[in-house]
Amino acid sequence: MLAHVVPNAVPKVDFSALAVCRGLGREAATNIMAITSLQKRAAGETIFWEGDPADSVFEVVKGTLRLHKLLPDGRRQVTGFLCAGHLVGLAPEGTWVYTAEAITEVTLCRYRRSAFERLIDTVPGFARRVLTATSHELRVAQDQMLLLGRKTAAERVASFLLLMAEQQGGGDDAESISVPMGRNDIADYLGLTVETVCRTLTQLKRHELIELPTHGRIVIRDHDALEALASGGIGFGL
């Protein structure tokens, strides 16, 4: 069952800048606006549950979502973190394949699925926008398969930091990235223990690849070295 909307005022949104509207004409954007509702959800609130009917597609406008699946024995596998500009809920079988929760307060665009699918057939360019979003989701899933299957702990943590930087539009040295999720979330995403995540971050700091100014923020000091570590090009003895 979908969570209730937070009763706070929802901020205005530039629809032309949304991922599903980008590059489309004014008429197409107007058609998309007609099937859209803006919602604000509180930190810790569940957006939808794995296995429930998928009657909507969401786009993150502001904030960060956590996606996860539960194993039969109760263990949790975090499958992704999504921030502004990402679509969530493109479920092909009509049911949610994971649970989505708000890590921070989030603002979402909610698109009614039936109307969303009709626009794919009727709005020029809209299907291509959806395909782009789906292709990105597939690439991230493939990257995580490699991350969990073959990479060392240091390579996994480095890859995670680069993913956060990419999602937030970074790519330069000395960039500051928001990391609002807890160390336990990062551990469940990377298939590591919390202790290993904390120890690896400390080692990256000691090797001057990153700084840890606050719990929710990390500064990447050497982007190239972090990329080399993530790809297995260098080890730093980690």
Any domain includes 129? yes
* Same domain? 121 vs 199: no
Any domain includes 41? yes
Any domain includes 177? yes
Residue that wins the pLDDT comparison between 4 and 54: 54
Instruction: Give the pLDDT confidence score for residue 117 in this predicted structure.
Output: 85
Query: pLDDT, tens digit, for every residue of 44-91?
Result: 999 999 999 988 989 999 999 999 998 888 888 898 899 888 888 877
Instruction: Give the pLDDT confidence score for residue 174 in this predicted structure.
Output: 55
* Same domain? 132 vs 218: no
183-190 helix and 194-206 helix, angle to the nearest 10 degrees: 100
List helix spans (H) across the chain.
26-33, 113-122, 126-150, 153-167, 183-190, 194-206, 223-230
CB contact at 8 A, 109 and 36: yes
CB contact at 8 A, 98 and 140: no
* Same domain? 141 vs 156: no
Any domain includes 135? yes
* Same domain? 44 vs 112: yes
Confidence of residue 123 (pLDDT cuts 50, 70, 90): confident
Work out the average pLDDT over 206-211: 95
* Same domain? 141 vs 199: no
Sign of CA pseudo-dihedral 21, 64, 163, 219: positive
Work out the average pLDDT over 201-215: 94
pTM of the model: 0.82
Confidence of residue 202 (pLDDT cuts 50, 70, 90): very high
Confidence of residue 8 (pLDDT cuts 50, 70, 90): very low
Per-residue pLDDT for 190 more than 90?
A: yes
**Where is the domain boundary, 147, 176, 195?**
147
Any domain includes 237? no
Residue 91 belongs to domain with CATH number: 2.60.120.10
CB contact at 8 A, 100 and 88: yes
* Same domain? 83 vs 187: no
When divided into structural domains, the chain yields a total of 2
Per-residue pLDDT for 95 more than 80?
A: yes
Q: Which of 13-17, 137-141, 185-189, 197-201 has the lowest mean pLDDT?
A: 13-17
Any domain includes 80? yes
Residue 193 domain boundaries: 152-230
Sign of CA pseudo-dihedral 46, 107, 145, 55: positive
* Same domain? 133 vs 162: no
Residue 183 belongs to domain with CATH number: 1.10.10.10
* Same domain? 133 vs 218: no
Name the CA dihedral angle for 138, 141, 145, 148, rounded to a multiple of 10 degrees. Answer: 160
**Where is the domain boundary, 147, 175, 201?**
147
**Where is the domain boundary, 147, 178, 197?**
147
Give Cα 69 distance to the centre of its chain: 15
* Same domain? 131 vs 60: yes
Any domain includes 71? yes
Residue that wins the pLDDT comparison between 140 and 131: 131
* Same domain? 189 vs 127: no
Any domain includes 143? yes
* Same domain? 143 vs 39: yes
* Same domain? 156 vs 140: no
